Amino acid sequence: MKNIKSTNGVAVEKSFEMYRMEDFYPENQSLAQSNRHDFYMIFYPTEGSGSHLIDFKSYKIEPHKVFLLYPGQVHTWEEYQDLKGFLIFFTTEFFTFRYNNNNLFEFPYFSAARREPFLYVSHNVQERLLRFLNTMLAEYQSDLIDKDKVLRSYVNILLIEFKRLYAHGQQVNYDKHGLTVVRHFEQLISENFKEKHQVKDYAEMLFVTPNYLNAICNKITNKSAGELVRTRIMLEAKRMLLHDDKTVTEIAYELSFKDNSYFCRFFRKYEGLSPETFRKENMMN
């Protein structure tokens, strides 16, 4: 199986790892560095405080506020004090060895279009969920046969539990067909945003009209279809500017802009400053 890796930060050596936070961070002094991961991460704090920078936005760490990160995201532990809880890392390959690859797209919190990268665990669920996590950790630390099979099942159960909490917190009341279309659209964006920038291209793949796609996105996400595409392109552009050793011209080419000047105008329009200025200002922080 593929090893889990991070860029400029914590090295995770297996396709699945699980720790108590209080055991993990004393051994990883690079937590304050900015990390770009190619794995999924679940961080469930039960005690302590701090702040977490995720894709250039700072979030407060609180007990029973679960952070759910997916491959490609950039994050930094800005500060932390007396943290206790659970950390889980796993690769796409680990999960999809048993479950279909598309299943991970079914979990709405693993999406660039989501509003926030966290959810709160309600009081009536906390005790049961903590018992489950302790059981899961004991399995990970054991030498029992078929341990990976059990852990894959545990991960799936845990993700479903978070899906229920997410749905309850969002108070979803729109039609299932529309929600399915938007989730499929988000999946297509994730797979094609470097080559396809136009809503009409995605509408064609979804067998709907651009107007319908725009209307259903506005209804469900409060964002237009075009905004969802642009947000994903901008997010990747900012990630690449800070974490890839490439020139602005090379980044523009990789993101399929016709030339460097067009990319710079696009970036400035939605970020308010040029790519070079963004890189310099954030590298200094």
What Å distances lie between residue 209 and 189, 202, 214, 253, CA to CA?
16, 9, 9, 29
Question: Higher model confidence: residue 170 or residue 182?
Answer: 182
- DSSP bridge pairs for 54: 57, 75
Share the mean pLDDT of the chain.
Answer: 85
**Is the Cα torsion angle 81, 239, 119, 91 positive or negative in sign?**
negative
Mean pLDDT, rounded, for 115-129: 91
Are 182 and 225 spatial neighbours (Cβ–Cβ below 8 Å)? no
Judge whether residue 127 has pLDDT over 90: yes
What sections of 97-224 are H helices per DSSP?
Answer: 123-140, 147-170, 176-192, 199-206, 210-221
Task: Give the mean model confidence (pLDDT) for residues 255-282.
Answer: 93
For 176-284, the fitting CATH number among 1.10.8.60, 3.40.50.1220, 1.10.10.60, 3.30.300.130 is 1.10.10.60
Per-residue tokens: 130: 């903590």
Quote the CA–CA distance of 209 and 214 in Å, as a whole number.
9
Determine contact, residues 194/236, Cβ cutoff 8 Å: yes
Domain-wise residue ranges, the chain: 6-170, 176-284
Reduce the DSSP state of residue 145 to 3 states and report it.
coil
Q: How confident is the model at residue 97 (pLDDT cuts 50, 70, 90)?
A: confident
CA distance 9 to 30: 6
Three-state DSSP at 176 gives helix
pLDDT at residue 107, as a whole number: 85
**Alpha-carbon gap, residue 116 to 60, rounded angstroms:** 12
Give the pLDDT confidence of 7-37 residue by residue, as tens digits: 334 444 579 999 999 888 766 555 555 566 6
CA distances from 168 to 127, 175, 222 (A): 18, 15, 18
CATH of 6-170, one of 2.60.120.280, 1.20.120.550, 1.10.760.10, 3.40.50.800: 2.60.120.280
Number of alpha carbons in the 13 Å side-chain half-sphere of residue 42? 23
Give rounded-to-5 percent helix, strand, coil for the chain. 50, 20, 30
CB atoms within 10 A of CB 152: 19
Q: Does the predicted model carry a pTM greater than 0.85?
A: no
